[in-house]
Amino acid sequence: MSEIFSSELTMSKNGFLFDHGSGLTYTLNATGQFIFHLLESGKKSTHILEKLITEFDVTEDTARKDLDDFYRQLKELGLIEQ
């Protein structure tokens, strides 16, 4: 598990995310699943941003907005350290 997460998280192939510490579950969309996989494998934000741009064929602004939004939600849910 990547050190970025505050407890052990596992995601199914359908994007169903389970927090082993709290028992809470979340459903991730395709972009969320893509970012989660990269975070899980320890990739940095700059790398994730580049991958988002090429994988989803979007502008840097769009990709950055999506990534920031994903980080914000993870923080609000207490899934990554503040």
Partner 1 sequence: MRLNVAVTGLHAADNPAPGIGVIRCLHHPEKWEGRIIGLAYDALDTGIYDEGLLDHAYLIPYPNSGSQALLDRLLYIHEQQHIDVIIPTLDSELPVFQKLEQVLRDNGIATFIPPKPVTDLISKANLAELCEAENIPFPETKVIKDPGEVTEAVEEIGFPLMIKGIYYEAYTCNNHSDVQQYFEKLRLKWGLPIILQKKIESEEFDVCCVCDENSDLLGAVPIRKTRLTDKGKAWAAVTLKNKQLLELSARILKQIGWTGPCEVEILKNTRTGDYNLIEINPRFPAWIYLCTGADQNLPRLVVELALGEKPVPLEPAKSGICFVRHAIDLVCPLDYIENLTTLGELHFSEGEEQQDKG
The footprint of partner 1 (CB under 8 A) covers 7-8, 10, 18, 20-24
Specify the residue, 60 or 76, whose C-beta has the smaller distance to partner 1: 76
Least distance from partner 1 to the Cβ atom of residue 39, Å: 19
Question: 């350290």: which residue's tokens?
Answer: 81
Least distance from partner 1 to the Cβ atom of residue 73, Å: 16
- Counting DSSP H helices and E strands in the chain, the numbers are 3, 3
Tokens read off for 29: 């969309």
CB 15 within 8 A of CB 21: no
Specify the residue, 7 or 62, whose C-beta has the smaller distance to partner 1: 7
